[in-house]
Amino acid sequence: MATASAVTDFRAFLDSHLDRELLRFTTAGSVDDGKSTLIGRLLHDTKSVYEDQLASVAKSRVNRAGSGRVDLSLLTDGLRAEREQGITIDVAYRYFATAKRKFIIADTPGHEQYTRNMATGASTADVAIVLVDGSKGILPQSRRHSFIASLLGIPHVVAAVNKMDLVGYDEAKFRAIEADFRTLAKRLGLRSVQIIPVSALEGDNVVTASANMPWYTGPTLLDYLETVPLREHVADQPLRFPVQLVVRPDRTFRGFAGQVASGIVRAGQHVVALPSGRRTQVKRIVTWDGDLKAAGPGESVTLELADEIDLSRGEMLISPDAHSNSVPTVSTAFGAKVVWMHEEPLEVGKTYLLKQTSRVVRAEVKRISYRVDVNSLEHLDATELKMNDIAEVEFETNLPLFFDAYRENRVTGAAILIDPLSNATVGALMIDRAVSTATRSDLPALLAAAHIDLAERLREMLAAAGHRAVVLHGFSPEEVPVAVRALQLAGVLAIVAGAVEGATVLNASDDAGLIAALAEMGVTV
Amino acid sequence: MSTLLPTDATSSVAELLTPRKMDHLRALEAESIFILREAVAEFARPVMLYSIGKDSSVMLRLAQKAFYPGKIPFPLLHIDTSYKFPEMISFRDNYAKEIGADLIVHRNEKAIADGANPHDLGTQNCCGLLKTRALLDGLEAGGFDAAFGGARRDEEKSRAKERVYSFRDGNGQWDPKNQRPELWQIYNSRLRKGESIRVFPLSNWTELDIWLYLYTEQIPIVPLYFAREREAVIRAGQITLTYPETRLLPGEKIETVMCRMRSLGCMPCTGAIRSEADTLEKIIAELISFRRSERENRAIDHDEEGSMETKKREGYF
Ligand SMILES: Nc1nc2c(ncn2[C@@H]2O[C@H](COP(=O)(O)OP(=O)(O)OP(=O)(O)O)[C@@H](O)[C@H]2O)c(=O)[nH]1
Ligand SMILES: [Mg+2]
């Protein structure tokens, strides 16, 4: 058996390993700027490459690094076609850890043809490393990728001005590119920007500070990655819990499985289900490891609710706090930034499948508001979108979506488009806002009935006439407006039993009386 | 607004208000559970490829967690080449029974009867018949449209390129140059008849993550992973364990070696490593010191450069 000290050592070692946070970063930039070489350098200099892997790269027939050096880009360019063509085609995921953090790297292709693969790698990143070739400056593709990084809401962007060895480690060259990048970053509205001069080939300022550039006193790339603050604010956001799956092992248990998209869910708290508007309480937060008192963003849990309410996959639980932003937008019409990713163009009038959280709906393209010129950032007119185009597009869906603006919530504001015939993933959507639909019936949003039986009868009559309506149960007076707003946006009419602000109380002894009372309000059933 | 707090006198307010810290293992676990649930919700007939190795053990535990308190809502499929270590088969049968899983075993009986073996056929052809062919047949026999696999992107450079949802055409083949974009955690599960998707919930786990998780979760694994003295021959520089039925090559002598397996495959093609690590603690400590990759002892990966990519294109996991 191990000695006592060996056991404590192991514990300490284990704790330090378990305690580390996860940071996801992506590379971006123009073809041949040195992205893959930089990642290879980072892995190599942090001793994250196994000897046999390095040896197999060293003996590869392909080598673009020259003069007896190992071509470190081959550590990530793992497809045969990539090695043959000397370019990255699809994103490669690599992993390494230091004493401070654990990292997931997405090394993406610079070639314009593979922009969709860049977007794939960048969509989940906390940090984007935009490479700029120091001997060439900022190229159109560097702009495009910086733009996509800003659209994808990547919180931090670091520009790595690479190949400084080719320009004699010249400070003036670096400062000029630095100024250009700052201008670009400002126009794109990037909030956290760092600019570092590096040589991926020689290793300057990647892991070790460069002796060739004493004029640079900032962090190395690794220092930066180890210390850049990770976003934690998602916990302060309102609760969004998209339901993935209903877990029903037997008649005694019905739970709603899902991953907390934002905010915190607590045992005992009140929640509202969308789109039904039904309100209930979280009875238990169930996990295999035991019940939790609270679960935060990113946690996969199963919620057991206090009441038997109608709720299934594609629907959502939110908290009914009276804050203005506590309710997501519920709408069938919205505008979104679109990155088009398919050879077949996006066309106005065409209907696609749209998947957002666990919800799949049909979405018709109503209008292309404008297309963005990635160089000038100008808005241009467009009638269709070609592969790699970026545009603002308005959609209308057959069922309402519950969403937040993407810049506020990277989970509930994101969606993909799928071609219903080929099943290809054709577009990435970052939702901006709801737009008003042309026609909506003029029903009041809220009806009050004198008592609960009447409320139920009212609902039946409305349903028979083709209106969607629900009876609100158990809401406190201050919560009613929030629920009503959510329902209204979903095109669902709310009915309460009893007096409530802003609604005339309907009272009638029979159906004829009800019909007459409704008619007076302009509602025909 | 009133957020009703449970009136449990023993729990502090801080505890009620603060969720658990998301260290990297928790983050990986939550992501994997999300993926498992997503696939179960969207595919008609998913199955889990159960290879009996350490990654499968982790994947199985994650599946137990994902659907708790329900049972795992899909069967396990083991592709048995007939060359698996006896310890693997007994572990498989006992463990599946213990956790109440529905286990399907599929073999390419014809090739096995014809005596397919890596010495005569070469590892590529042998794998093609006993693994890839058997896998494709097994999937078709069950009518499965999605198959969970325990592959990790850090295992091999072509795997590093693969999506979480890896699309396969009607012949079960992978086209690495034409993968569907996969943004955020929004997975596209749409298929036409005959097409299928391999789903990799452990994509973002590293070998160390797997061992740390096995340790913190106390998950049972095949005893071959732990070092002890075993009978073996040294074949082409590789420690090959021997069993009563092992065919010795001319000149080979059985010796006793203190060793363990780092990765589990077929007996003739998977080498052991010299090691004294007989506990999970020691294995983890040893892993940190390793300078060579885990698949180095798997013959199939090294036939030629890019051989894993070739196998994957053909339908291998
Ligand atoms: N002199 C010099 N050459 C470099 C440096 N970094 C990369 N290169 C070379 O630039 C070429 C392209 O490098 P890659 O790493 O493949 O470029 P990439 O950005 O990954 O290219 P794509 O992924 O295809 O967009 C190779 O020949 C590298 O050896 C550097 O710092 N200095
Ligand atoms: Mg590259």
Peptide bond into B223 cis (omega under 30): no
Q: Count CA within 13 A, CB hemisphere, residue A67.
A: 2
What tokens appear for A396 in the block? 């209308």
What is the signed CA dihedral for B34, B36, B37, B39, rounded to 10 degrees? 120
Q: What is the pLDDT of residue B299?
A: 52
Among residues B280, B211, B204, the alpha carbon closest in space to that of B33 is found at B204
- Cα–Cα distance, B55 to B152 (Å, whole number): 8
- Cα–Cα distance, A18 to A370 (Å, whole number): 48
Interface-testing mutation among A8, A61, A102, with chain B (most B C-beta atoms within 10 A): A102
What tokens appear for A378 in the block? 């100008």
- Cα–Cα distance, A225 to A158 (Å, whole number): 9
A78–B160 C-beta distance less than 8 A: yes
- Cα–Cα distance, A267 to A294 (Å, whole number): 6
A40 lines ligand 1 (CB under 6 A): no
Centre of ligand 2 from the C-alpha of residue B293, in Å: 23
- Residue B200: partners with Cβ closer than 8 Å, 6 or more residues away: B35, B148, B149, B150, B151, B152, B153, B162, B163, B164, B166
A88 lines ligand 1 (CB under 6 A): yes
Interface-testing mutation among A22, A292, A338, with chain B (most B C-beta atoms within 10 A): A22
- Cα–Cα distance, B7 to B1 (Å, whole number): 18
Pairing of strands B146-148, B46-49: parallel
Within 8 A of B65 by CB-CB distance, chain A residues are 287-289
DSSP-derived letter for residue A267 is T
φ, ψ for residue A117, nearest 5 deg: -75, -30
What tokens appear for B172 in the block? 């079960």
B190–A418 C-beta distance less than 8 A: yes
Distance from CA of A493 to the nearest CA of B (A): 24
Q: What is the three-state SS of A324-377? A: HHHCCEEEEEEEEEEEECCCCCEECCCEEEEEECCEEEEEEEEEEEEEECCCCC
Cβ A142 vs Cβ A160: under 8 Å:
no
Residues in chain A: 525
Bridge partners, B256 (sequence order): B231
Q: Which amino acid is at A513?
A: G
Distance from CA of A215 to the nearest CA of B (A): 36
- Cα–Cα distance, A488 to A486 (Å, whole number): 6
Of these ranges, A493-507, B16-30, B227-241, the one predicted with the greatest mean pLDDT is: B227-241
Q: What is the pLDDT of residue A437?
A: 59
CA A49 to centroid of chain Cα atoms? 31
Q: What part of B 284-303 touches A (C-beta under 8 Å)?
A: 284-285, 288, 290-293, 296
Cβ A480 vs Cβ A500: under 8 Å:
yes
Q: What is the pLDDT of residue A355?
A: 97
Q: What is the residue with the minimal CA distance to atom 30 of ligand 1? A: A163
Q: What is the pLDDT of residue B114?
A: 87
Task: Give the Å distances, CA to CA, from B251 to B232, B235, B247, B272.
Answer: 14, 10, 12, 20
Name the region of B218 (left: φ>0; alpha: ψ -120 to 50; beta: rest).
left
CA B59 to centroid of chain Cα atoms? 8
Q: How confident is the model at residue B170 (pLDDT cuts 50, 70, 90)?
A: confident
Distance from CA of B26 to the nearest CA of A (A): 8
- Cα–Cα distance, A78 to B161 (Å, whole number): 7
Q: What is the pLDDT of residue A21?
A: 86
CA A135 to centroid of chain Cα atoms? 35
Task: Give the Å distances, CA to CA, from A373 to A185, A191, B307.
Answer: 16, 22, 43
φ, ψ for residue A72, nearest 5 deg: -70, -15
- Residue B14: partners with Cβ closer than 8 Å, 6 or more residues away: none
Mean per-residue pLDDT of chain B: 86
Q: What is the pLDDT of residue A359?
A: 95
- Cα–Cα distance, B4 to B128 (Å, whole number): 60
Q: How confident is the model at residue B7 (pLDDT cuts 50, 70, 90)?
A: very low
The mean pLDDT of B167-174, rounded to a whole number, is 84
- Cα–Cα distance, B165 to B197 (Å, whole number): 6
Share of chain B above pLDDT 90, in %: 53
What digits encode the pLDDT tens for the residues B116-158? 888 788 888 888 888 889 998 999 899 999 999 999 998 888 8
Atom of ligand 1 nearest to the CA of A198: 31
A248–B70 C-beta distance less than 8 A: yes
What digits encode the pLDDT tens for the residues B75-96? 999 999 988 989 999 999 999 9
Place of tokens 């932003």: A325
DSSP-derived letter for residue B115 is T
Centre of ligand 1 from the C-alpha of residue A396, in Å: 44
A321 lines ligand 1 (CB under 6 A): no
CA B114 to centroid of chain Cα atoms? 28
* Positions of chain A with pLDDT lower than 70, given as ranges: 1-8, 231-235, 322-325, 437-443, 489-491, 522
Q: What is the pLDDT of residue A136?
A: 95
Centre of ligand 2 from the C-alpha of residue A74, in Å: 9
Q: Which of A54-63, B109-118, B252-261 has the lowest mean pLDDT?
A: A54-63
Name which residue leads in pLDDT, A424 or B314: A424
What tokens appear for A462 in the block? 């409305």
- Cα–Cα distance, A403 to A328 (Å, whole number): 5
What digits encode the pLDDT tens for the residues A404-421? 999 999 999 999 999 999
**Of the partner residues A245, A269, A300, the one whose CB lies closest to the CB of residue B30:** A300
- Residue A179: partners with Cβ closer than 8 Å, 6 or more residues away: none
DSSP-derived letter for residue B132 is I
Bridge partners, A157 (sequence order): A128, A193
A281–B191 C-beta distance less than 8 A: no
Among residues A252, A271, A351, A285, the alpha carbon closest in space to that of A315 is found at A271
What tokens appear for B205 in the block? 């786990």
What digits encode the pLDDT tens for the residues A357-372? 999 999 999 999 999 9
**Of the partner residues A20, A60, A478, the one whose CB lies closest to the CB of residue B305:** A60
